[in-house]
Structure 1
Amino acid sequence: MTTAIKESPRDKVFLIVNYVYLLFAFVIVAYPVIYMLSASISDPQYVGSGEMWLLPKGITFDGYQRVFENSKIWSGYANTILYTVASIAVSLAVTLPAAYALSRRDFIGRNFFMGMFMVTMFFGGGLVPTYLLVKDMGMVNTIWAIILPSAASIYNIIVTRTFFVSSIPRELEEAAQIDGASTTRMFFTIIIPLSMPIIAVMALFYGVAQWNSYFSALIYLNDEAKYPLQIILRQILVLQEMSAQAGGTVDASTASALNNKAEIAALVKYAVIIVSTLPIIVIYPFLQRYFVQGVMIGSVKG
């Protein structure tokens, strides 16, 4: 029969401090989410005046109704999904082979290439040369201008490379080579199936980054039909700010109309934020197990 270890007073104090800290951290993280959710279904007058600070007040679903009726938002939603899925596919197709090649001990010059990759983490060409390059390649106002410039993250390649080095047994590769498997066959039939944790992590990293990205679309796209959801949300925010600034320089009736538009824009803004973040929130629980495992193995070991 085992005897339970008795906690000392210092252990109890440590646990209490941990619980208090975790509760405090949870409140800091949860409050903005609860506030946005409440603001999206509250009367904009209560939100603007500060009367609604946590729970919904004057519940209304006009914001969501306007979101679902707005063709631009649905178009932006479809474009964002397309860009995200394509970006994940292209980024994984670049990151995984590059990381695996750099993890091979028999790859001549791997340290040189690794050093050249790392240089790009500290030095970049700048916005203007990058734009000129994208323009000269004929990618402006196309999906490739959104995907290709950010197709590879050096940090993600390093994490994936570390995963391959620390988690894929070298003996397994040697056994496959003895059986006559080529490097390409070994990569697709052995390495990839054993790398699902890091693949899930990289897919989540690239997917979240692309889903939240708006600057590339702002620079390279000029066709509203190709705008992602984040650009549509930005337009709503700009409309709200312009309406608020114009309200003080016009007559009372016009100011009232502009203020009404600003309130509607604010209501739609919170509804769009909830709608735009919902897919990530829904997908993450299914990837959490792989996410934790892949990050711990890929960034701590080695």
Structure 2
Amino acid sequence: MEQPTRLGRAVKATVLVLVVAAVAYPLLGVLGTSIASQSDIIRSTGLVLWPDHPTLDAYRTILTGGVVTRALLVSIGVTVLGTGASLVVTVCMAYGLSRREVTGSRLILMTALFTMLFNAGIIPNFLLVKGIGLYDTYASLVAPTLVSAFNLVVLRAFFMNLPEELYDAARVDGAGDLRILLRLVLPLSKAVIAVVSLFYAVTYWNAFFNALLYLDGSDKWPLPMVLRTYVLQGQSLSSAAAGESLAPEQAVQMAVLVIAVVPILLVYPFLQRYFTKGVLTGAIKG
């Protein structure tokens, strides 16, 4: 491979700096505005990158009770339980579909892949959720998206690439499918399971459409619905958060946005070392 020229390195460095600046500017603006005082916001007439009078009044407002605190707890519960349930179902289904001796596995796989191309639509999904008694329950935030066909295919490809000799040796030792899955397959699949877990967690954490369709009332809203209603649509959040607020409305809205973004930013570094290995699963065979 040819060594890059000085001009090539300079261009790459310039592009990288511009990309980082384009990402960092709005992030710093949101963070700075969330801790800005009313005078800082009025003076800047927009996002505050560096407030002269920083204050945590906006975070006190939204974390001392009210709709934001309740929505945060709902999002955490739905993300944790939903990710766990999706992993259990997806791993078990992928393991079964990876075994060639399972009758009808190809038909089931084709059915799962069919859902990646065609969707029943909003009205049939709504009627189904309501018909099975999940309407206006937290289960409606998990059940319709319990299994992702993409994640299923990724896990199945990884399980099929494991050496068949390992399965044969385990069966010679008297291990059944459940023991093989728990003692053999899962320990060898930490990378891909970490990546799939991140995909599911991000999906559940950011999802608001199911809540918009299936929840009747704001008492069960997850955090993305609060963002949509009070931040994007511009409705007043200070009174809904915790009574009378000392923080400016714009600072409260940006504080909610920070709280919605930070959990994923904190989780990602712990899974980053698995990410590259996991996303390349199935790309190289042999």
Which range, TM-score by smaller chain?
0.7 to 0.9
Q: Secondary structure at the residue paired with 1:100?
A: helix
Give the superposed CA RMSD: 2.5
Q: Report the equivalent of 2:242.
A: none
1:278 aligns with 2:273: no
Q: Which amino acid aligns with 1:180?
A: G
1:77 aligns with 2:61: no
In the alignment, the residues of structure 2 paired with residue 293 and residue 100 of structure 1 have an alpha-carbon distance, to the nearest angstrom, of: 19
1:36 aligns with 2:30: yes
Q: Is the 8 A contact 2:71 2:220 kept in 1?
A: yes
Return the structure number with greater helix share. 1
1:98 aligns with 2:82: no
Percent of residue pairs identical: 34
1:73-105 residue CA offsets vs partner (Å, 9 max, x unmatched): 111111111100110111001111121222223
1:300 aligns with 2:275: no
Q: Is the 8 A contact 1:200 1:291 kept in 2?
A: yes
Deviation at 1:47, TM superposition (A): 4.2
Label 1:209 to 1:44 Cα distance change in 2 as closer, same or farther (>3 A): farther
Label 1:12 to 1:90 Cα distance change in 2 as closer, same or farther (>3 A): same
Q: Report the equivalent of 1:138.
A: 133
Q: Which amino acid aligns with 1:300?
A: A
Write the mapping of 1:60-209 to structure 2, written as runs, cut at 5 A. 60-166=55-161, 168-209=162-203
In the alignment, the residues of structure 2 paired with residue 152 and residue 44 of structure 1 have an alpha-carbon distance, to the nearest angstrom, of: 46
Q: Which amino acid aligns with 2:96?
A: A
Q: Which amino acid aligns with 1:189?
A: R
In the alignment, the residues of structure 1 paired with residue 226 and residue 15 of structure 2 have an alpha-carbon distance, to the nearest angstrom, of: 38
Count the aligned residue pairs.
276
Q: Report the equivalent of 1:214.
A: 208
In the alignment, the residues of structure 1 paired with residue 101 and residue 18 of structure 2 have an alpha-carbon distance, to the nearest angstrom, of: 50
Label 1:150 to 1:79 Cα distance change in 2 as closer, same or farther (>3 A): same
In the alignment, the residues of structure 2 paired with residue 90 and residue 122 of structure 1 have an alpha-carbon distance, to the nearest angstrom, of: 24
1:27 aligns with 2:21: yes
Label 1:33 to 1:160 Cα distance change in 2 as closer, same or farther (>3 A): same
In the alignment, the residues of structure 1 paired with residue 38 and residue 115 of structure 2 have an alpha-carbon distance, to the nearest angstrom, of: 46
Deviation at 1:136, TM superposition (A): 0.6
In the alignment, the residues of structure 1 paired with residue 248 and residue 177 of structure 2 have an alpha-carbon distance, to the nearest angstrom, of: 58
Identify which range, 15-24 or 186-195, moves more after superposition. 15-24
Identify which range, 263-272 or 80-89, moves more after superposition. 263-272
TM-score, scaled relative to structure 1: 0.83
Q: Is the 8 A contact 2:41 2:47 kept in 1?
A: yes
Query: Which 5+ residue runs of structure 1 have no aligned equivalent?
Result: 244-260
Q: Highest Rg: 1 or 2?
A: 1
2:249 to 259, 265, 281: 265
Q: Is the 8 A contact 2:37 2:248 kept in 1?
A: no
